[in-house]
Amino acid sequence: MSAESLKAISPVDGRYFEKVKELSTYFSEYALIKYRIRVEIEYLIALAEGPLNDRIGDIQSKKNHLRAVYENFSLENASRVKAIESEINHDVKAVEYFIKEKLEELGLSQNKEFVHFGLTSQDINNTSIPVSIKDCLDQVIYPELQTLIDKLKELSKKWKDVTMLARTHGQAASPTNLGKEFAVFIERIEVQFDNLKSIENRVKFGGATGNFNAHHVAFPEVNWPEFGNTFAENYLGLKRSQFTTQIEHYDQLAALFDNFSRINTILIDLDRDVWQYISMGYFTQKVNKGEVGSSAMPHKVNPIDFENSEGNLGIANSAFNHLSSKLPISRLQRDLTDSTVLRNIGVPMAHSLLAWKSLKKGLDKIEINRENISADLEANWAVVAEAIQTILRRENYPNPYESLKDLTRGSKEINKKTIHRFIDTLNVSEEIKEELKKINPENYSGVYPDF
């Protein structure tokens, strides 16, 4: 680790930075400046290609050079913006002045006053941040989540022939299938993943209080709401909210964060189940010769990846929950509480990404212990009581549930001999007795769709 990383306050910028550094492309101060510049420049180009073509049409001849300003944006450029900000004490206005400097360099100084024309800071913030989120989702988050789903599918298919004892309320219950239990999580995650991808990225773009006041007074002949819609969709790939105050109402963004929280909650459930299966001896973990499991107990191979994942998912959800509950609330037409909160979007994204990678790493290391799984089934013959009493119900046998209840409840040992001895006492045909004796904990695992 670098000296700078060792002094970082947040672990995602220090200890864990190498595992989440790709997010700095979207959520760092550098990234925010770059995305603001991208929106400002695309807006200028849209004006030149649209309603103000007769005024600033010459912008079009240099639009590739203009786009290169954000496409080739450097740390040196970001430092220049911050230097301007330190003089004027306004972050978005600093971006405007930086772009004006670039227009002078490109011989377009006559168009400088159309940079940020008619806009307020939130027209830039409430477009640049959604664009950065969209890019991050498409380029990092969605692929990483799909990688995790693919790993779960691999394990589910690998273990589709493994019957194991289920547990409800912590007690032995009707056997299930290990592959199917992983399929449960796959289905849950995929449903929420589809929901996540269906949430529209909406933006506010409409001037100081959302009504294009300045735009309209300067050029009343232009249909500015229509232009705003076209700009948001065609130049930024987003949907524009039609009625806003000075800021975006953030309802869609809140829905996005809530959906992330649901996915993470499902993964916490998975982390804890796998952790428990390791504790029960159903899973073993591949040993890395150089690793140490405990500073005191040499034998230990801790399920640290699942614990790390669970912890980071919890931190992520705490932040997501605050973002989704705070952002949609703003006093009257504008207050500034959203500004500092929005700068923290990368934090829960980073903890989520870190958690998903830890979970994937843990899943790569686990192997099943068929011997322990089979032994647990053999030690719990009482679970076939459900099967026996159900067949007896089919045959209209009197009080089958009560008979099996008396047999199986309590501290007495229930094994194959106990069950078969009971079957022999039943007043049913030999054919039915043979049917009942074929049932065992290994084959009583039900039926389910292919996975």
CA dist 318 and 59 (Å) reads 46
> Is 274 within 8 Å of 366 (Cβ atoms)?
yes
- Residue 226 tokens read as 């229509």
Find out whether 165 and 173 touch, Cβ atoms under 8 Å: yes
> Which tokens sit at 307?
């614990």
Distances (CA, A) of 416 to 86, 355, 429: 80, 44, 20
434 class by beta-carbon count within 10 Å (0-12 exposed, 13-18 middle, 19+ buried):
exposed
For the annotated catalytic residues, the residue numbers are: 169, 294
Contacts (Cβ under 8 Å, ≥6 apart) of 45: 59, 60, 63, 66, 67, 235
d(CA 17, CA 24): 9
Residues contacting residue 62 through CB under 8 Å, at least 6 positions apart: 106, 107, 108
**What's the count of helices (H) and strands (E) in the chain, helices before strands?**
23, 6
Helices (H), 89-177: 91-105, 121-136, 142-158
Which of 298, 279, 274, 272 shows the shortest CA–CA distance to 287?
298
